[in-house]
């Protein structure tokens, strides 16, 4: 058990840095790592993916606060954007987590690996929408937030892979889009955690030390290190060539997706 706790802590450390550095949400790393560790622990496959997704979102609640504070100190969070998109984010994330609780673990794994491939190609090719418009009105922000929240709940991430391109498309500078995405990650994680707790209540076959679909030992291990390393990632984001780092990370994501694909097949 101590070995697994240390591995959870290591995953949290890496996820925290990535959350602050790339604005992609540490769940991109946490979810596949948790799915592997849960399999090693002999957990039932029926709800393994839901546990990985729910635990990932619960850990992002803490990571996002730490990363958000670091970006705020650099003046990189546009709080009016957070306030405008938060209602849609909450509704979409709650709906997405409810849907995930009813889907099979196998379907969620396939959905997640497809998302991994999408993110890896997007990052490697540095595909960015042209800043061709301004932020939409209340209805548009609610719709965008609902979509981002729903997909984030289904893949267990903080939403940065979608919220950052959306904001840059709307003429928000990249470093502010990353900082604002860190702040948006909190309502996604909060609503997703609530949804996965409610969705997993009363499910038979879950391991001990769970709260719904949240596996507490993994959550503690992830949070211990992720809160410490997220500010480091935010500081690095303002100093290093992030574009080059994204290509390396994209290759890593492609490898992780391919590994999961072979598991599914």
Out of 2-11, 18-27, 176-185, least confident range = 18-27
Residue-level pLDDT at 51: 95
Out of 13-27, 92-106, 131-145, 185-199, least confident range = 13-27
For residues 73 and 188, which has the higher predicted lDDT (pLDDT)?
188
- Per the prediction, the chain carries an average pLDDT of 85
Mean pLDDT throughout 138-158?
93
For CA atoms 209, 261, 11, 159, give the dihedral sign.
negative
Residue 11 has pLDDT above 90, yes or no: no
Summarised one tens digit per residue, pLDDT across range 87-109 is: 999 999 999 999 999 999 889 98
Residue 154 has pLDDT above 60, yes or no: yes
CA angle 166, 58, 43 (to 5 degrees): 120
Residue-level pLDDT at 123: 76
Residue 23 has pLDDT above 60, yes or no: no
Which 3 state secondary structure label does DSSP give 73?
helix
End-to-end CA distance of the chain: 29
Task: Give the residue among 51, 25, 35, 31 at the shortest CA–CA distance from 189.
Answer: 25
pLDDT more than 70, % of the chain: 91
Euclidean distance between CA atoms 192 and 150, whole angstroms: 9
129 secondary structure, DSSP code: -
130 secondary structure, DSSP code: -
The values of phi and psi at residue 211, to 5°, are -120, 100
Strands (E), the chain: 210-211, 214-215
Task: Give the residue among 25, 74, 63, 81 at the shortest CA–CA distance from 236.
Answer: 74
Summarised one tens digit per residue, pLDDT across range 161-199 is: 788 889 988 888 888 888 898 899 899 999 999 999 999
Q: pLDDT-derived band of residue 19, with 50, 70 and 90 as boundaries?
A: low
Euclidean distance between CA atoms 21 and 89, whole angstroms: 22
Which 3 state secondary structure label does DSSP give 204?
coil
Residue 111 has pLDDT above 80, yes or no: yes
Q: How far is CA 68 from CA 60, 62, 63, 78, 154, in A?
A: 11, 10, 8, 11, 23
Summarised one tens digit per residue, pLDDT across range 206-250 is: 888 999 999 999 999 888 887 777 667 767 766 766 667 677 777
């Amino acid at each position: 058990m101590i070995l697994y706790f240390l591995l959870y802590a290591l995953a949290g450390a890496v996820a925290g840095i990535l959350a602050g550095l790339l604005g992609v949400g540490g769940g991109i790393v946490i979810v596949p790592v948790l799915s592997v560790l849960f399999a090693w622990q002999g957990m039932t496959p029926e709800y393994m993916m839901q546990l990985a997704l729910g635990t990932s979102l619960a850990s992002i609640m803490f990571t996002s606060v730490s990363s958000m504070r670091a970006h705020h100190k650099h003046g990189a969070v546009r709080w009016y954007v957070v306030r405008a998109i938060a209602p849609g984010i909450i509704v979409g994330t709650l709906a997405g987590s409810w849907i995930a609780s009813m889907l099979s673990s196998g379907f969620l794994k396939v959905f997640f690996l497809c998302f991994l491939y999408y993110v890896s190609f997007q990052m490697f090719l540095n595909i960015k929408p042209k800043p061709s418009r301004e932020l939409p009105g209340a209805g548009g922000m609610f719709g965008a937030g609902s979509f981002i929240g729903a997909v984030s709940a289904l893949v267990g991430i903080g939403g940065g892979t979608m919220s950052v391109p959306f904001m840059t498309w709307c003429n928000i500078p990249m470093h502010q889009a990353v900082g604002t995405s860190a702040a948006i990650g909190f309502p996604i994680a909060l609503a997703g955690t609530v949804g996965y707790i409610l969705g997993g209540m009363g499910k038979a076959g879950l391991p001990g030390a769970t709260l719904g679909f949240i596996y507490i030992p993994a959550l503690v291990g992830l949070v211990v290190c992720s809160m410490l390393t997220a500010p480091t990632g935010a500081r690095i984001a303002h100093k290093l060539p992030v574009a080059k780092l994204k290509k390396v990370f994209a290759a890593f994501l492609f490898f992780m997706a391919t590994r999961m694909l072979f598991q599914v097949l």
